[in-house]
Amino acid sequence: MDGIKYFVVTDKSIRLLLKNQYTFNVESGSTRTEIKHWVELFFDVKVIAMNSHRLPGKGVPIMGHTMHYRRMMITLQPGYYIPPFRTKGT
């Protein structure tokens, strides 16, 4: 689970929960197959689709810049859900 940083909570990610899609920020060096394996193993779910995009780092005037990271949108099979994020409709 070292590759998954945290669950993303935005307006869009909350809307995607109704479609059984979960959004995570992951390490930029992680591959799609690693992330899929970690999610299926840790949460005991079946992943049917994954989309990702790379977000740019931000410049900080004094400290330099922040690291780049990837955002993964993971779609689960119907009937599966990640327990802390279960919605009322499922």
67, two tokens: 């690291």
CATH of the domain at 22: 3.30.70.330
pLDDT of residue 66: 67
Q: What's the average pLDDT block by block, 10 residues per block, for the chain (90 residues)?
A: 80 90 88 89 92 79 71 92 64
pLDDT of residue 23: 92
> What does the alpha-carbon distance between residue 56 and residue 29 come to, in Å, rounded to a whole number?
14
> What does the alpha-carbon distance between residue 15 and residue 8 come to, in Å, rounded to a whole number?
12
* Residue 40 maps to a domain: yes
Q: How many domains does the chain have?
A: 1
* Residue 90 maps to a domain: no
pLDDT of residue 87: 53
Mapping DSSP to helix (H, G, I), strand (E, B) and coil, where does residue 83 land? helix
